[in-house]
Amino acid sequence: MAKVILLNGSPKANGCTATALDEMVKVFNEEGIETEIIHVGNKDIRGCVSCGYCENNGKCVVNDLVNEVAAKFEEADGLVVGSPVYYGSPNGTILSFMDRLFYSTSFSKHMKVGAAVVNARRGGNTASFDVLNKYFAISGMPIAPSTYWNMTHGFTPEDVKKDKEGLQTMRNLARNMTFMIKAFSDAKEKYGLPQVEKDFFTSFPDGK
């Protein structure tokens, strides 16, 4: 059974971001996709300290939720990251989490499907959405589309429930993500994964 992990970056386990993610979960359940919502924003998650431990050990030196989720992410077929908008960006906790999750893991994320979801009271949604999509784009993860940018509006879950277009966008996103996961699974069997060249790491060590 295919599995999607949904990360809730909000400190509120039942807030607006969770309401948007729940709307996706309903569709995943109907489509026979296993789901797990993981609450990240209510945990103490420090940022990456660039120590290099993960390069030799394949996991983060800070042995917290990041390492737990890493094992689940390796097995999953899709990852949804949801965040409230704070000062026009994803919130600090989810950014610390995503930096460490993606930097510390060396397993292939190639063709796992990614999606970002943001909730704002008013503004800063598209900038936050763009930031979160960048983790997928650099990791060989196709980004699932919907019928609008993946955002809901509200200050309370009750507000979000009134955002009919936002919730519809979440449902359409989950359907598209399901299709992509199933299609990639079939295509992997038929064609195998595309080749990935890995040799170059251009950082101009000679200063030129």
Ligand X SMILES: Cc1cc2nc3c(=O)[nH]c(=O)nc-3n(C[C@H](O)[C@H](O)[C@H](O)COP(=O)(O)O)c2cc1C
CB of 185 to ligand X, least distance (A): 31
- Tokens (6 digits) for 144: 């699932």
* Contacts of ligand X in 83-122 (CB under 6 A): 84-88, 119-122
What is the spatial distance between Cα 8 and Cα 117, in angstroms, rounded to a whole number?
A: 9
Is 149 near ligand X (CB under 6 A)?
no
Beta carbons within 10 angstroms of residue 10's beta carbon:
25
* Contacts of ligand X in 11-50 (CB under 6 A): 12, 15-17
CB of 141 to ligand X, least distance (A): 24
Question: Among 10-18, 142-150, 167-175, 198-206, which window interacts with ligand X (CB under 6 A)?
Answer: 10-18
CB of 119 to ligand X, least distance (A): 4
Q: Are 90 and 118 in contact, with CB atoms under 8 Å apart?
A: yes
Task: Rule CB under 6 A: choose which of 10, 133, 146, 150 binds ligand X.
Answer: 10
Which CB atom, from 61 or from 127, has the smaller least distance to ligand X?
Answer: 127
**Which amino acid type is present at position 206?**
D
Nearest to 90 by CA among 82, 100, 101, 78: 82
Which CB atom, from 53 or from 155, has the smaller least distance to ligand X?
Answer: 155
Q: How many residues bind ligand X (CB under 6 A)?
A: 17
Residue nearest to ligand X as judged by C-beta position: 15
Residue 117 CB contacts under 8 Å (≥ 6 apart), including other chains: 17, 20, 21, 24, 80, 81, 82, 83, 150, 151, 152, 170, 173
- Tokens (6 digits) for 86: 């704070």
CB of 93 to ligand X, least distance (A): 11
Which CB atom, from 85 or from 144, has the smaller least distance to ligand X?
Answer: 85
Q: How many helices (H) and strands (E) does the chain have?
A: 7, 6
Is 123 near ligand X (CB under 6 A)?
yes
% helix, strand, coil for the chain, step of 5:
45, 15, 40
Is 174 near ligand X (CB under 6 A)?
no
Is 124 near ligand X (CB under 6 A)?
yes
**Interface ranges with ligand X (CB under 6 A):** 10, 12, 15-17, 84-88, 119-124, 155
